[in-house]
Amino acid sequence: MSIQPVYAKPHEEPLQRIVLTLLAPKIQEQINRYYKDKLTVSPTFSPFLGGTNLDVEYHPSHIDVHVKTIPYVGPHLDVGMDSMRFRIDNTGTVMVLEYKHIRDYELPPNWQHIIKTSFNLRVR
């Protein structure tokens, strides 16, 4: 009996779930870094509840991963939309290639107190 290898395609849900699970700490780190000067609380993201898109590109020496996510505070109040690109080399090292803040979302009046002075979360 021989064991046959199984290959996941880049857009299959199990592969995307594995990649997002492994990258979750790096994704949260980038979110924390961007929003630390804007909000008094750090937003989070839900990799498996919607609001996060993933694109995976395979190369012989590395994997490039593009993540688009909508961080939120409290009871899923969206604060913005962000895009990140990571490179995972064949040793498992993860490098952040890019972080782009795409847009802000306005918080409701009862959440305005978390906005740091001189920063407004508004759709741009």
* CA separation for the pair 46, 23 (Å, rounded): 12
The pLDDT tens digits of the residues spanning 8-50 come to: 555 667 778 888 999 999 999 999 999 999 999 999 998 877 7
Angular region, 112: left φ>0, alpha ψ -120 to 50, beta rest = alpha
Structure tokens at 72: 């939120």
**DSSP state string for 43-97:** -B--TTSSSEEEEEEE-SSEEEEEEEE--EETTTEE-EEEEEEEEEETT--EEEE
For 49, how many CA atoms within 13 A lie in the half-sphere containing its CB?
8
pTM of the model: 0.82
Q: Which residue has the higher pLDDT, 119 or 43?
A: 43
